[in-house]
Each structure stands twice: as structure tokens, then as C-alpha cells.
Amino acid sequence: MILPTSAGTRRAAAADRTLRTPLMAIAVAGAATIVHSLPGLPPVVVDRSYLLLVGLTVASGLANFRMLGARFTFSVSDSFTMTAAVLFGPAAATVLVAFDAFTMSLRLTRENRTASRLFYNATAPALAMWIAARAFDALAPVAFRARPTPGAQLVIPLMVFAALYFVLNSGFIAMAVAGEQHESLPHVWAAYFAKLWFTFFVGASVAGLLVLLAGVGSGNSMVIVLLLPVVIVLYAAAHGAVEQLRERREHLAERELFATALGSTADAVLLTDPDRRVTFMNPAAERLTGWSDEAARGRADIDVFRVCDPTTREPKLDAAAREGAVIADYILVRPDRTECAIEEMHAPIRDESGQLRGLVWTFRDIAERKAIEAKREALLLMEQEAHAAAVTANRMKDEFLAAVSHELRTPATSILGWARLLRGGRLDEQGVKKALDALERSAHAQATVLNDLVDTSRIVRGALRLELRRTAVMTPVGEAIETLEPAIKAKELRLGVTVENALPIIDADPDRLRQVFWNLLSNAIKFTPAGGRIDVSARHEDNHVVVDVRDNGQGIDSSFLPFVFDKFRQADGSYTRVHGGLGLGLTIVRYVVESHGGAVEALSEGVGRGARFTVRLPITPPGLQSDQIDDSPAARLP
């Protein structure tokens, strides 16, 4: 028996200090037994049977036989060394065991073949053999080697011999292994050495049988020594082969069960060998990768499992480079260039000794999960947008209520004030005229606010009706200019009007058009500083009449321009703003123009650079029959 050659042997220099002294004592005592046994060896070495045992011991010692379930090697030469102990005594067996252990140590790698290891491997088994053989001689009948002895008298000594040699030999080696691997001695012995009892008791059985055959004079002793150990070795080999076949059958059954389980799982599973060659694919992996198990076997995993990063689309040439079992999302690219979103995880497959046996890849189709996640994100975005819209609407509501209160309260305050003055009778004729003018202006301001609210309510309910008749578009434009002329003069604005010759008559509601142009001109006056300029132009373009209202006033910020026609939207929505109004005028403009089948557009190069509103009205609104046009003077809004 020799020490294990696993990675733990490289830590021999760090042996546990508590075992170092006993190990040294065992080695020294073993060396002493070898030296003590050498003087008694010469009479034995001339015996051909002993020389034959030596040869068999050397041959079996050089063979590399692994005990089933053990992670170290041992030699069946123990059968021959124990036979030597029974036939030739403790001295011959002790030297032979030391020689056998030294021979087996030559199988160690160069880095593990240290002087201390070779010394311990030779001396520890020698000490175990010397003690066990001495015990056997003490229990066996006197001079049993020289005369026939009943077999019953040898059974107990042989059993004690086998048990003692087994416990001591395996215990000494287990002690060294425990020191190297920093494990407890009972655990090491039970896990790695307890299974070796078979070879020791086989050796004792062989030795006892040889003694019995020699005692009854059955055949040539050379032939007996040669044949019986060979038979035992063959038996041991056959026993080992049977055990291997049994374990192989169990292993195949486990693999079949494992393969069946993998084939039934919904997750894709791919196995590779240590060289990263595919060894197995379950049906789910075949469906996802586009490779059959037969076609994929033996191919490199990066050829079968081709993935790329879902964000950058960069190919992942070696997804297995990640350490540990880490879950990651990839895009799996099939041979036909189709793609599939997957969640992948891989892990190394290692045996009991920690040696890499391959890799296991598990992955699944996550297209449905991605769709659910995308839908959830879309719903979350919609919820956030709805929340933002609700917050904005709530703010606009507050601003609108504040604006309505302001727009109604200001003229109402003026009306009440002038009414008190008139009731007091202290105003002269000029004061009365001024009071009446103020009352009229305030009432008109309130009427404008209320009309805008009523019109907006009709627009929301879809109840705003048009009374169409043949209309010259400049008529409502001129009326709007005439109405706003006092405001234009008050701010000393310059007004330019340009009209193309022979402008077509259109089918429209002149009252609603007057409302449209009044709102556009009112905005231009409101946002143009004193001394500024407003230009109104009308032209015929294709089947439309186009009216532009342009100013060089405050202009419109680019961020607000897309919302300029929305209800209650103003660039300055606070009730402390400089300019009045509810933010409904342009909403009414857009609705009236679009109800005519036309379009209105707002343009501005930015704040401080003026604005232009363009109204496009069709000559005949689409879908309107001539008999639907009410051309009577009485056709008016209620």
C-alpha cells in the first residue's frame, strides 16, 4: 500500500504537528525492524519458493491496481508477503514487505517521490508486518512449519494475523494521509482504507492453504507456491471485474434514468466533455439550438451554442468564460440565422476528486417572459404618463379656475365701482359718460369670457353648429379688424392688409369666421408691444383661401408651440400673468376652422421673433351639398 498521489500530497510539508511525532516514531521503529530482520534472511533467500514469492511480489507491486471505490492504488502483493510470513517467518516477511512498498513507491510522480515519503512507505508497512507476524508465531502451534498441523489450529492465528496486519498497515498509512490533508484519522481510515480488508484476508487464506498442502505432502511446493497465488489473484481480478460490471450496470441505469429525466424537462440541457465537445442534448435543447443531438455530438460548444449580447448584439465567443453558475440573458443564433431570447446558466461537472469532467449548460426560451416584461414596462410607462397627465390636468384646472376668477372678477369690480358712483349722483356729465364707457367695456369683457366658455362647452359636447352660406372671406376679417381698431390705436400698432385680386367666394359661417379672426387679431394685439406691426394677408391657393395673421411681437417658445391650440394651455398659465384670457381662444379657432374642412397652423422662430398663424379654408367644405348651404340672413347661432 502507498500514500495517495492526489493534490493533497503536495502539502506534505504542512503535515499536522500533532501527528508529526507519531509518524516519525513509526518510521524509526519500522527501520529498526528491517535492520533486526536482515540477519535472519540468508537461510531463506536460497529457498526457491521464497525467491518465487519475491518475484511475484515485485511483479504485482509494479502493477497499478485500483481498489473499487478507493481513490488510491494498492497491490495484491499483500497475498504474497503474508504467505511469506506464514511459510518463512517474521524476518523474511518484514524485509519483503519493505521491498514491496519501496517498489510501489517508484510509481509516484517525480514531485511526490521525496526521500521522506519513500522512507515512510517502506518502514511503516514493515513495522506492521513484523508486529502481526510475531503475533501469528506466538499463537500458532510450535514447529507447525516442520510437521503436519491440523487446519483448525491455524484458523484463529491466521485471522488474528490478517486483522492485525490490516489494521496496523492501513492505520499507519491513514495517519500520514490525515496529516497531509488535515482531516481526522478515523474519517480518513473509514473513507479510504476500510475497504482493503478483502486483500488481507485473502492473503491469510492463501498462506493457510499453502501450509496445509505442504503439511500433507500434496505435490511440489514450487508448483503450489506458483499456482495458488495465481489462482487467488485471478479470483480477486474476477471479483473485481464482477464488481465493476455491477457498478457499470448500475451506472448505466442511472445514466438512462438521468437521460430520461433530462429528456422530459422543459429546460434545454447541453453537456460537454472537458475539451468542450458536445456529448448530450435533450429534445428541448434540440428545438432551441436547431441542432439534432446526433449532429451536435463531438462539435465544439461554441459552434452549437452560438449566442450574442442582447443589448450590443456582439457575439459571445465564449460564454463559458464566466466563473461559477451565473445566470445571464443572451440571444441564441440558430444555424438558419433565426434568433431566440434565452436565459442561460452553466456550471462545471467535477468528480469526487475535483477533476473537471465537463460542463453542463441549461437554458430556456424567455421570449414570452420578455413580451410580458415589455408589456409590463409599457403599462408602467402608460401609468406614469397617465399620472403625469393627471397631475398636469389638475394643475391646469387650478390655473384655469384662477384665470376664470380673475377674468370675471376684474370687470365685475369695475362694474360695481362705477355703479356705486352713478348711484351716488355726484358725477357730472363727462363723468357719467366715462362711467358708461367703462361699464360697457367691463360687460363686454365678461361677455367674451362667458362666450368662450359656452363655445368650448359646445365643442366638447359636439354641439357647436355651423350655418354656412356664400361668404367673402375678407368680410369677417374686416369686421374683426373694425371691432379691434380701438385696441390697435391704443397701442399705436401699424396694421397692414394685403388681399389678392379676385379672391373666391367660399361656403362658410361668417359669424364663426369673424370669431376666428377676432381671436387671432386679439392675440396679435395682446402679444405685440406698442409701436409694433401686424400684417393680415389673404390669397387663393389651389382650392383654398389662405389667410395669414403675422406680428413682430413676443413670439412663441418652441417647447410650447406644439400645445398652442390645446384647451386652457398658455405659455404663462399663472393667474399673475401679464396678459389676460382663459387660453380658449385658439382652441375655438382650431375647432371652427377644422369644422369648415380647413386647417390652422402656428409658426414662430422663437421668443421675441414674432408669430404667424395661417388659416386654410376650402372654397367648398368636403362632403357638403349645395342644398345644405343656408344663405338666408336669418341663419345665425342661437
Residue (of 189, 293, 230) closest to 83 by Cα position: 230
CATH of the domain at 140: 1.10.1760.20
Instruction: Classify residue 497: in a domain, yes or no.
Output: yes
Residue 413 belongs to domain spanning: 380-444
Domain identity same for 243 and 271: no
CA 479/CA 512 separation, integer angstroms: 12
CA 56/CA 80 separation, integer angstroms: 7
CA 508/CA 615 separation, integer angstroms: 13
Instruction: Classify residue 435: in a domain, yes or no.
Output: yes
Residue (of 451, 437, 487) closest to 581 by Cα position: 451
The phi, psi pair for 264, rounded to 5°, reads -90, -15
Quick one: pLDDT band at residue 212, thresholds 50, 70, 90? low
Per-residue confidence (pLDDT) for residue 145, from 0 to 100: 62
Residue (of 499, 591, 587, 582) closest to 545 by Cα position: 499
Instruction: Classify residue 259: in a domain, yes or no.
Output: no
Quick one: pLDDT band at residue 111, thresholds 50, 70, 90? confident
Domain identity same for 192 and 104: yes
Residue (of 314, 332, 323, 317) closest to 370 by Cα position: 332
Per-residue confidence (pLDDT) for residue 265, from 0 to 100: 80
Alpha carbon separation from 132 to 23, 128, 201, 206, 338 (Å, rounded): 19, 6, 13, 16, 74
Instruction: Classify residue 51: in a domain, yes or no.
Output: yes
Domain identity same for 440 and 301: no
Per-residue confidence (pLDDT) for residue 470, from 0 to 100: 92
Beta strands in 33-72 (DSSP E): 65-66
Instruction: Classify residue 252: in a domain, yes or no.
Output: no
Residue (of 478, 549, 545, 540) closest to 514 by Cα position: 478
Quick one: pLDDT band at residue 475, thresholds 50, 70, 90? very high
Kind plus residue range of the DSSP H or E element containing 536: strand 533-541
Residue (of 555, 559, 558, 560) closest to 570 by Cα position: 560
Domain identity same for 295 and 243: no
The answer to which of 442-456, 578-592, 619-633 has the lowest mean pLDDT is 619-633
Per-residue confidence (pLDDT) for residue 492, from 0 to 100: 92
* Mean of pLDDT values over 482-509: 90
Side-chain-facing half-sphere of 299: CA atoms under 13 Å = 15
CA 257/CA 259 separation, integer angstroms: 5
Residue (of 183, 202, 201, 204) closest to 192 by Cα position: 183
Per-residue confidence (pLDDT) for residue 359, from 0 to 100: 87
**Is the model's pLDDT at 234 over the cut of 80?**
no
Taking only the tens place, the pLDDT of each residue in 363-386 is 988 888 888 988 999 999 999 999
DSSP string, 303-346: HHS-EE-TTT--EETTGGGS-SS--EEEEEE-TTS-EEEEEEEE
For residue 617, what are the β-bridge partners? 545
Domain identity same for 240 and 279: no
CA 591/CA 587 separation, integer angstroms: 6
> Of 315, 332, 365, which residue constitutes the final position of a domain?
365
**Is the model's pLDDT at 512 over the cut of 80?**
yes
Quick one: pLDDT band at residue 357, thresholds 50, 70, 90? confident
> Of 338, 365, 392, which residue constitutes the final position of a domain?
365
Task: Quote the mean pLDDT of the chain.
Answer: 77
Reduced to 3 states, what is the DSSP secondary structure of residue 544? Answer: strand
360 alpha carbon, distance to own chain's centre: 17
3-state secondary structure 230-249: HHHHHHHHHHHHHHHHHHHH
For residue 548, what are the β-bridge partners? 537, 614
* Mean of pLDDT values over 629-638: 35
Per-residue confidence (pLDDT) for residue 375, from 0 to 100: 92
Residue (of 167, 192, 168, 165) closest to 5 by Cα position: 192
CA 335/CA 483 separation, integer angstroms: 77
> Of 335, 365, 395, which residue constitutes the final position of a domain?
365
Domain identity same for 114 and 241: yes
Any idea what the Cα angle at residue 70 is, between residues 64 and 75, rounded to 5°? 35
204 alpha carbon, distance to own chain's centre: 62
**Cβ-proximal residues to 489 (8 Å cutoff; 6+ apart), any chain:** none
Residue (of 308, 312, 365) closest to 337 by Cα position: 308
Quick one: pLDDT band at residue 84, thresholds 50, 70, 90? confident
**Is the model's pLDDT at 581 over the cut of 60?**
no
Retrieve residue 17's grid coordinates.
504537528
CATH of the domain at 296: 3.30.450.20
Residue with more model confidence, 326 or 389: 389
For residue 359, what are the β-bridge partners? 272, 348
Q: Rounded to two decimals, what is the model's pTM?
A: 0.40
Instruction: Classify residue 510: in a domain, yes or no.
Output: yes
* Mean of pLDDT values over 174-196: 79
Widest CA span of the chain, in angstroms? 167
Taking only the tens place, the pLDDT of each residue in 56-65 is 777 766 665 5
- The total number of structural domains that make up the chain: 4
Per-residue confidence (pLDDT) for residue 206, from 0 to 100: 66
Instruction: Classify residue 2: in a domain, yes or no.
Output: no
DSSP string, 548-598: EEEE-SS---TTTGGGTTSTT--SS-STT-SS---S-HHHHHHHHHHHTT-
The answer to which of 69-83, 154-168, 234-248, 566-580 has the lowest mean pLDDT is 566-580
**Is the model's pLDDT at 7 over the cut of 50?**
no
Domain identity same for 88 and 42: yes
Retrieve residue 190's grid coordinates.
473509514
CA 145/CA 135 separation, integer angstroms: 16
For residue 331, what are the β-bridge partners? 308, 341
Residue (of 584, 616, 628, 633) closest to 513 by Cα position: 616
Domain identity same for 292 and 203: no
* The amino acid at 266: A
Domain identity same for 406 and 487: no
Domain identity same for 180 and 214: yes
**Is the model's pLDDT at 495 over the cut of 50?**
yes
Q: What percentage of the chain exceeds 70 in pLDDT?
A: 72
Domain identity same for 336 and 436: no
DSSP 189: I
Domain identity same for 385 and 360: no
Instruction: Classify residue 454: in a domain, yes or no.
Output: no
Residue with more model confidence, 495 or 426: 495
Please, what is the end-to-end C-alpha distance for the chain in angstroms?
117
Residue with more model confidence, 183 or 226: 183
β-pairing verdict for 268-272 and 356-365 = antiparallel
**Is the model's pLDDT at 637 over the cut of 70?**
no
- Contact of 211 with 203, CB cutoff 8 Å: no
CATH of the domain at 613: 3.30.565.10
**Cβ-proximal residues to 77 (8 Å cutoff; 6+ apart), any chain:** 56, 57, 58, 60, 61, 100, 104
CA 117/CA 308 separation, integer angstroms: 52
**How many Cβ atoms are within 10 Å of 298's Cβ, its own excluded?**
10
Tell me the residue length of the chain: 638
